[in-house]
């Protein structure tokens, strides 16, 4: 099926590692033009090269802290200056430190988690709505998480990811009349592939620093399909939701991509 994304102007925040990298690869295979926004310059350049090898029409890297004032305007401005518009925005930027709610009492941790997972999406979305509305079309995909529905050791993180669902559905209701669609993808546990993360990634310290083997085994055992989610699994759902043909009439929806680990 032709998803009509060849030459599409796509922004992926946090596009250098793990899920973001997979999403960039997914749009590359469709021949899209991509702005990859991330703070890890070395890893972003590596993913840029990978995307071009997979068929991306063009990849522009913008290196910045997406939580900084004006970051959303800078990222959207990159696409506007290069291509004159934005067709797709993927709000993928995220950060997490697993821990029980009773233990995560550090307000600095709360603040960083909220700013990274939620504020960045609000910022980029507000800016992208301008050019999308003027064009009368656009697709925004928010990367949430199974944790949005409640998960052990994911209280602060899950709260921010639940906020993304409300933001996406509000956007869908308010902006649909302007031709803009907004949807959510909720991945299950996605372990990074070899070479799939840079030094700035939360996974940089290794898988065991986030989830040890027994925890990974437990997650797999509790998943109906008995397998973990890959970055390509998430990318396939994101690319579909971004398609102006395949998902033309889909907005305000939450798609869980976790082998049945959640069923919203």
Q: Which amino acids are annotated catalytic? A: 157
Gap between the Cα atoms of 260 and 264, Å rounded: 10
Q: Retrieve residue 91's tokens.
A: 């709000």
Characterize 73-111 residue by residue with b for buried, 16 or more Cβ atoms within 10 angstroms of its Cβ, and e for exposed: bbbbebbbeebebbbbbbbbbbbbbbbeeeebeeeeeee
């Amino acid at each position: 099926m032709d998803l009509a994304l060849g030459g599409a102007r796509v922004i992926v925040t946090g596009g250098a590692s793990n899920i973001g990298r997979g999403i960039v690869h997914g749009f590359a295979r469709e021949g899209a033009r991509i702005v990859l926004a991330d703070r890890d310059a070395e890893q972003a350049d590596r993913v840029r090269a990978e995307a071009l090898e997979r068929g991306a029409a063009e990849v522009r890297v913008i290196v910045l802290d997406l939580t900084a004032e004006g970051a959303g305007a800078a990222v959207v401005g990159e696409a506007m200056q290069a291509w004159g518009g934005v067709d797709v925005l993927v709000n993928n930027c995220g950060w997490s430190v697993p821990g029980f709610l009773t233990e995560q009492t550090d307000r600095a941790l709360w603040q960083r988690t909220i700013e990274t997972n939620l504020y960045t999406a609000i910022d980029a979305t507000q800016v992208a709505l301008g050019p999308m509305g003027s064009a009368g079309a656009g697709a925004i995909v928010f990367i949430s998480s199974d944790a949005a529905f409640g998960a052990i050791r994911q209280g602060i993180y899950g709260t921010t990811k639940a906020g993304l669902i409300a933001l996406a559905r509000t956007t869908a209701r308010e902006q649909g009349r302007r031709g803009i669609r907004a949807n959510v993808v909720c991945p299950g546990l996605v372990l990074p592939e070899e070479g799939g993360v840079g030094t700035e990634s939360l996974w940089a310290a290794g898988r065991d620093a986030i989830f040890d083997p027994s925890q990974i085994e437990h997650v797999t055992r509790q998943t109906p399909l008995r397998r973990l989610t890959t970055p390509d699994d998430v990318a396939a759902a994101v690319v579909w939701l971004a398609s102006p043909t395949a998902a033309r009439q889909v907005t305000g929806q939450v798609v869980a991509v976790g082998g049945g680990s959640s069923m919203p």
